[in-house]
Amino acid sequence: MGERQAVAFEFERVTVLRAGRRVLDEVTAGIPAAGITVVSGPSGAGKTTLLRLCNRLAVPDAGRVRYRGQPLDELDPLVLRRRVGMVFQRPAPFPGSVADNLAVARPDVGAAELGTALKRVALDPGLLGQEARTLSGGELQRMCLARTLVTQPETLLLDEPTSALDEQPKRVFEDTARDLAAQGITLIWVTHDDAQAARVADRIYELRDGHLTGTPTEEAKP
């Protein structure tokens, strides 16, 4: 691997419209590659939209997003999505066992690697044979995280992944995420939970009224 660049995502006057409303309004910002960047803000502020731009589940109406220097629209979206994994707010288990779920992205993967993926998210590899839909909420969300890790992503997008979890499983998820960041994975974590943001973030940006504040780029603007 080449030398790691300091910025993971750069937004260049990015605008997203939904039903005539500017969900993102000429956002210009950079998200560093190191550690955990939290994007906070009230519901409906466009946090999810911002994340979805990063793996091209959505595209901007104007402006440009770059990933590690390359414009997203010049990258193969299928390759990009393996480099930039995503965990959604509501876990979406696929039919079948935990192993079936983990193997969706890489059907050729061996049982040993699947077990390792579960260990990385603090789940027992003994769960591999279990029906995914019988897991608890916290286990299910961590299984979804493990499912993403199987593609060996450099970056993880976390869209309020613990919003439906109780305090204890929420803390387990946070610890897991911190471990992954320590292993060199870039994390961009969307949350409206200020206490959680304070616990996990290396830096916090705020998205409000379509503008991202708190970023070095924004602060440098006149």
Partner 1 sequence: MSTPVGWAGLAVSLLLVAVAAGISWWQQLGLHRQIVIAAARALAQLLLVGVALTLVISPGRPIWWSWLWVAAMLGYAATVARRRAPEVPHLLPLALASFTAAAVVTLGVLFGLHVFPLTGRTLVPIAGMMVGNSMTATVLAGRRLTDELRDKRDEVEARLALGQPSRQAAAPYVRAALRAALSPQIETTKATGLVFLPGAMTGLILAGTAPLQAVLVQAVVMFLVLAATATTTVVIALGLIRRLFTPDHRLVHLPTPADH
Kindly list the residues in this chain that would bind partner 1 in the complex (CB under 8 A): 55-59, 77-79, 81-82, 85-86, 88, 90, 92, 94-95, 104-105, 144, 147-148, 151
Residue (92 or 182) nearer to partner 1, CB = 92
Residue (101 or 215) nearer to partner 1, CB = 101
Q: Is 50 in contact with 39 (CB distance < 8 Å)? A: yes
The Cα-based distances of 153 to 66, 180, 193, 221 in angstroms read 17, 11, 25, 32
Minimum CB–partner distance for residue 60 and partner 1 (Å): 13
The Cα-based distances of 179 to 4, 40, 74, 168, 211 in angstroms read 19, 21, 32, 17, 30
Minimum CB–partner distance for residue 29 and partner 1 (Å): 22
DSSP type of residue 184: T
Minimum CB–partner distance for residue 194 and partner 1 (Å): 26
Residue (147 or 170) nearer to partner 1, CB = 147
Minimum CB–partner distance for residue 146 and partner 1 (Å): 12
Residue (62 or 105) nearer to partner 1, CB = 105
Structure tokens, 44: 């409906």
Q: How many CB atoms lie within 10 A of CB 79?
A: 9
